[in-house]
């Protein structure tokens, strides 16, 4: 039986659950004395989050300004930086995320986008739309290529496995020094990046948004990359100076860039990146709920943490410790 008493408390769940999963969570919460409400994320309003003691799944950040009773917030995303705006979460709120759920989906999207650019499939698609039978010339391969992956967590490691399986050499970048292990052949820190950029045929970014990473990829970064190399970003848009990236594409420094994230989102319609023939832009869709395996993994992480919370056990994926309060354990 749960050890946490939820009497008089409400749990808001915004996950895309099956009827069976919703019934299971409802029974779990009700056995602890609480009530559960279920609202899909796009429909969440201020009234849904107001007064909630637990939120499981993402909600619009604007709805959390009056959530002073929120004890625990479990996001359905791996990213959480937009929830750490000063004053948004109450001091008592524990924040946990869904790290570990998105490796397959995002890494496969990154690989597909990269291969599309390397084989010029985007140009042939443009030619198809114009009814043009036109040979676009030489292409490139991952066999023997050096792929520098900035961000060596779940997603970066999954991407490293994929490119390694295709014959590439995967090099990793962590924010802090750490041991190198398979599938990475070499490991660096952010301080080392400028020294190795010129050796990479592909630079792929899956770093989170932090003061250390914002604006990291700017003019000096792109000018240090190997001429004719490729750039991929599926982490956070604010990592990149997009005007400088557009210039690096326009002047031929880079062979191509695949972006699933931009800053802001959506990318303004007048931004020069839209007009770059060698840019492939997708609207932040690499993760989300598009792959069923991702849905299953996110629900599994959230459900496991909910059980742990109600049992009084330690939570996984804590990114913010709340101040101590009496949770009736």
Q: Is residue 3, in this structure, part of any structural domain at all?
A: no
Give the chain's domain count. Answer: 2
| Secondary structure element (H or E) that encloses residue 242, with its range | helix 242-250
Q: How far apart are CA 142 and CA 165, in angstroms?
A: 10
- The answer to whether residues 59 and 152 belong to one domain is no
Domain encompassing residue 307: 10-100+291-320
Please list, in sequence order, all residues whose beta carbon lies within 8 angstroms of the beta carbon of residue 250, skipping any fewer than 6 positions away: 272, 276
Q: Is residue 211 part of a domain?
A: yes
Classify residue 265: in a domain, yes or no.
yes
Domain shared by 256 and 139, yes or no: yes
Check whether residue 147 and residue 246 sit in a common domain: yes
Which residue has tokens 């900035």? 150
pLDDT at 2 over 90: no
Residue 67 has pLDDT above 90, yes or no: no
| Lowest mean pLDDT segment, chosen from 116-130, 166-180, 301-315 | 166-180
Catalytic residues: 236, 265, 284
For residue range 29-44, what is the model confidence (pLDDT) as tens digits? Answer: 999 999 999 999 999 9
Whether residue 251 sits in one domain with residue 240? yes
Average pLDDT, the chain: 95
With pLDDT > 70 as the criterion, what percentage of the chain qualifies? Answer: 98
Q: What is the mean pLDDT of residues 5-18?
A: 97
Residue 40, in any domain of the structure: yes
Which whole number is the average pLDDT over 169-194?
Answer: 93
In terms of pLDDT, which residue wins out, 328 or 106? 106
Q: Based on the fold, state whether residues 222 and 123 are members of the same structural domain.
A: yes
Site of tokens 């990592």: 239
CATH number at residue 309: 3.40.50.720
Residue 151: pLDDT band with limits 50, 70, 90: very high
pLDDT band at residue 326 using 50, 70 and 90 as cut-offs: low
**Residue 327 located in a structural domain:** no
Whether 132 and 151 map to the same domain: the answer is yes
Specify the pTM: 0.93
Report d(CA 8, CA 298) in Å as an integer.
Answer: 27
* Average pLDDT rounded to a whole number, residues 72-80: 96
Is 41 part of any domain?
yes
Do 70 and 108 share a domain, yes or no? no
User: For residue 144, is it within any domain?
Assistant: yes
Q: Are 24 and 43 found together in one domain?
A: yes
State the pLDDT confidence band at 324, using cuts at 50, 70 and 90: low
138 and 150 share one domain = yes
Helix (H), strand (E) at residue 321: none
In terms of domains, do 194 and 48 share one? no
239-287 pLDDT tens trace = 999 999 999 999 999 999 999 999 999 999 999 999 999 999 999 999 9
Q: Please, which pLDDT band fits residue 231 given cuts at 50, 70 and 90?
A: very high
Query: Averaged over 126-145, what is the pLDDT?
Result: 98
Residue 1 has pLDDT above 60, yes or no: no
Distances (CA, A) of 151 to 158, 280, 299: 11, 21, 24
**β-strand 279-281 against 254-259: which pairing, if any?**
parallel
- Read off the pLDDT band of 325 (50, 70, 90): low
Cα(59)–Cα(42) distance, integer angstroms = 8
Tell me whether residue 272 is in a domain: yes
| Beta-carbon contacts of residue 97 (< 8 Å; ≥ 6 apart) | 74, 75, 77, 78, 79, 80, 317, 319
pLDDT at 327: 47
Range scoring the smallest mean pLDDT among 24-28, 66-70, 223-227, 234-238: 66-70
């Amino acid at each position: 039986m749960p050890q946490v008493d939820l009497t008089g408390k409400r749990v808001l769940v915004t996950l895309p659950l099956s009827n069976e999963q919703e019934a299971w969570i409802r029974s779990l919460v009700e056995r602890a004395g609480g009530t559960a409400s279920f609202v899909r994320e796009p429909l969440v309003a201020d009234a849904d989050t107001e007064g909630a003691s637990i939120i499981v799944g993402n909600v619009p950040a604007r709805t959390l300004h009056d959530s002073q009773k929120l004890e625990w917030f479990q996001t359905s995303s791996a990213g959480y930086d937009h929830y750490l705006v000063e004053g948004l979460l109450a001091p008592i709120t524990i924040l946990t995320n869904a790290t570990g759920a998105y490796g397959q989906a995002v890494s496969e999207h990154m690989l597909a986008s990269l291969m599309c650019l390397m084989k010029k499939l985007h140009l042939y698609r443009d030619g198809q739309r114009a009814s043009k039978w036109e040979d676009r010339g030489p292409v490139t391969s991952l066999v023997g290529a050096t792929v520098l992956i900035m961000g060596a967590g779940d997603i970066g490691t999954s991407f490293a496995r994929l490119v390694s399986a295709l014959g590439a050499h995967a090099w990793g970048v962590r924010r802090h020094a750490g041991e190198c292990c398979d599938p990475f052949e070499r490991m660096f820190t952010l301080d080392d990046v400028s020294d190795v950029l010129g050796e990479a045929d592909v630079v792929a970014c899956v770093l989170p948004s932090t003061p250390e990473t914002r604006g990291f990829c700017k003019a000096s970064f792109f000018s240090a990359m190997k001429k004719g190399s490729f750039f991929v970003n599926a982490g956070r848009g604010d990592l990149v100076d997009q005007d400088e990236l557009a210039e690096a594409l326009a002047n031929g420094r880079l062979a191509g860039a695949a972006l699933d994230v931009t800053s802001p989102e959506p990318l303004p319609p007048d931004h020069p990146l839209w007009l770059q023939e060698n840019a492939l832009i997708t609207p932040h869709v690499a993760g989300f709920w598009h792959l069923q395996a991702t849905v299953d993994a996110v629900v599994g992480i959230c459900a496991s943490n909910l059980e742990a919370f109600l049992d009084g056990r330690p939570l996984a994926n804590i990114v913010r410790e709340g101040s101590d309060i009496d949770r009736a354990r």
